[in-house]
Structure 1
Amino acid sequence: MPIWGVSAEPRRCRYLGLAGSVMLALGGLGAGAVPLGTPHAPTGPGIFLAWCGMVLLIAAWLLLGRAVRGAEPPEPRWLLRTLLCWAAPLVLGPPLFSRDVYSYLAQGALVGAGLNAYTTGPAALGGPFDAQVPGLWQHTPAPYGPLFLLLADLVARVAGHALSAGVLLLRLVALGGLALLAVVLPRLARACGVPPAAALWLGLLNPLVLFHLVAGAHNDALLLALLVSGLLLRRRPLWAAVLVTLAALIKLPAALGLVAVVVLWGERLKGRAGLSRAALATGAVALATTAVVTALSGIGYGWVHALAVPVSAGSWSLTSLLGRACGWLLSSLYHSTEVGLVGLAVLAWRWLGLAAAVASVLLLLRRVRRRQVGVVYAVGLALVAVVALGPAIRPWYALWGGVLIAAAAPADGRVRRWAPLVSGLLALLVAPDGFTPGPQEVLLAVAGGVLGAVVVLAGVRIPLPRLTEKPMGRM
Structure 2
Amino acid sequence: MRTLPTVHGYRMLGGVGATLIAVAGLAAGALPVETGPAWWTDLRHLAEPALLCGYAGLTLLVAAWWWAGRDLRATSRRAAGSESAGESGARLDCRSAALTLACWAGPLLLSPPLFSRDAYSYLAQGAMVLADIDVYRHGVAALGGRLAAEVPQMWQQTPAPYGPVFLAIAAVVSGLTGGKLVLGLLGLRLVALAGVALLLRYLPRLARHCGVDPGAALWLGVLNPLVPLHLVAGAHNEAVMLGLLVAGLCLAFERRFGTAAVLITLAALVKAPAVVGLLVVVSLAARYSGRRVALARTAGFAAGTAAAVTWATGIGFGWISALGTPVYRHSWSVSSALGRGATRLAGALGLELGDGPMRLCLGLGLLAALAAAAAAWWQRRRLGPAYALGLALAAVALLGPATRPWYALWGLVLIAAAAPDGRARPAAALGAVVLAFVALPSGFGPDRVQAVLAAAGVLVGLLAVGWLRLLTAPLRLSTAVAR
On the 8 A contact 1:260/1:376 being kept in 2, the answer is yes
**CA gap 1:263/1:50 in 2 versus in 1, 3 angstroms:** same
The residue that corresponds to 2:156 in the other structure is 138
Distance 1:435 1:301 in 2: 32
Distance 1:98 1:366 in 2: 35
**CA gap 1:110/1:415 in 2 versus in 1, 3 angstroms:** same
Residue 30 of structure 1 aligns with an amino acid whose one-letter code is: A
Pair 1:64 & 2:68 matched: yes
Q: State how 1:117-132 maps to structure 2 within 5 Å.
A: 117-132=135-150
The residue that corresponds to 1:165 in the other structure is 183
Pair 1:323 & 2:332 matched: no
Q: CA deviation at 1:133?
A: 1.4
Q: State how 1:182-261 maps to structure 2 within 5 Å.
A: 182-234=200-252, 235-261=255-281
**CA gap 1:448/1:361 in 2 versus in 1, 3 angstroms:** closer
1:440 aligns with one of 427, 430, 449: 449
On the 8 A contact 2:346/2:352 being kept in 1, the answer is no
Q: CA deviation at 1:328?
A: 4.1
SS at match of 2:330: coil
**CA gap 1:289/1:465 in 2 versus in 1, 3 angstroms:** farther
Q: CA deviation at 1:187?
A: 0.9
SS at match of 2:146: coil
Distance 1:31 1:465 in 2: 38
CA deviation string 1:226-247 (max 9, x = no partner): 0000000121101100000000
Q: Which runs of 5+ in 1 are unaligned?
A: 1-6, 467-475
Q: Which range moves more in the overlay, 256-265 or 431-440?
A: 431-440
The residue that corresponds to 2:48 in the other structure is 44
Q: CA deviation at 1:309?
A: 2.7
The residue that corresponds to 1:472 in the other structure is none
Distance 1:242 1:422 in 2: 32
Distance 1:239 1:93 in 2: 37
The residue that corresponds to 1:471 in the other structure is none
Distance 1:295 1:350 in 2: 34
Distance 2:179 2:346 in 1: 51
Residue 213 of structure 1 aligns with an amino acid whose one-letter code is: L
Q: CA deviation at 1:9?
A: 4.3
Q: CA deviation at 1:8?
A: 11
The residue that corresponds to 1:422 in the other structure is 431
Q: State how 1:45-444 maps to structure 2 within 5 Å.
A: 45-70=49-74, 71-72=77-78, 74-75=90-91, 76=93, 77-234=95-252, 235-269=255-289, 274-312=290-328, 314-329=330-345, 332=348, 335-340=349-354, 343-368=355-380, 371-411=381-421, 413-444=422-453
Distance 2:123 2:342 in 1: 39
SS at match of 1:372: helix
Q: CA deviation at 1:218?
A: 0.5
SS at match of 2:326: helix
**CA gap 1:443/1:356 in 2 versus in 1, 3 angstroms:** closer
**CA gap 1:464/1:157 in 2 versus in 1, 3 angstroms:** farther
Q: CA deviation at 1:449?
A: 1.4
Distance 1:405 1:284 in 2: 28
CA deviation string 1:261-284 (max 9, x = no partner): 100111121xxxx11221121111
Q: CA deviation at 1:111?
A: 0.5
On the 8 A contact 1:315/1:393 being kept in 2, the answer is yes
Residue 346 of structure 1 aligns with an amino acid whose one-letter code is: M
Q: CA deviation at 1:337?
A: 4.1
On the 8 A contact 2:123/2:179 being kept in 1, the answer is no
Distance 1:295 1:58 in 2: 44
Residue 199 of structure 2 aligns with an amino acid whose one-letter code is: L
Residue 127 of structure 1 aligns with an amino acid whose one-letter code is: G
Distance 1:398 1:249 in 2: 19
Residue 373 of structure 1 aligns with an amino acid whose one-letter code is: L
Q: CA deviation at 1:339?
A: 5.0
Residue 263 of structure 1 aligns with an amino acid whose one-letter code is: S
**CA gap 1:268/1:168 in 2 versus in 1, 3 angstroms:** same
On the 8 A contact 1:12/1:460 being kept in 2, the answer is no
SS at match of 1:315: coil
CA deviation string 1:117-164 (max 9, x = no partner): 111111121223122112121221111001111111111111113221
Percent of residue pairs bearing the same amino acid type: 49
On the 8 A contact 1:206/1:423 being kept in 2, the answer is yes
TM-score, with structure 2 as normaliser: 0.89
SS at match of 1:51: helix
The residue that corresponds to 2:81 in the other structure is none
**CA gap 1:8/1:305 in 2 versus in 1, 3 angstroms:** farther
**CA gap 1:124/1:364 in 2 versus in 1, 3 angstroms:** same
On the 8 A contact 1:128/1:163 being kept in 2, the answer is no
Q: CA deviation at 1:367?
A: 1.9
On the 8 A contact 1:136/1:313 being kept in 2, the answer is no
Residue 333 of structure 2 aligns with an amino acid whose one-letter code is: S
CA deviation string 1:400-459 (max 9, x = no partner): 111010000002x21111111111111111000101122222222122111111111112
The residue that corresponds to 1:469 in the other structure is none
Distance 2:228 2:365 in 1: 29
Residue 98 of structure 2 aligns with an amino acid whose one-letter code is: L
Q: Which range moves more in the overlay, 227-236 or 384-393?
A: 384-393
On the 8 A contact 1:8/1:64 being kept in 2, the answer is no
Distance 1:172 1:145 in 2: 19
Distance 2:155 2:329 in 1: 8
TM-score, with structure 1 as normaliser: 0.90
Pair 1:35 & 2:32 matched: yes
Residue 238 of structure 2 aligns with an amino acid whose one-letter code is: D
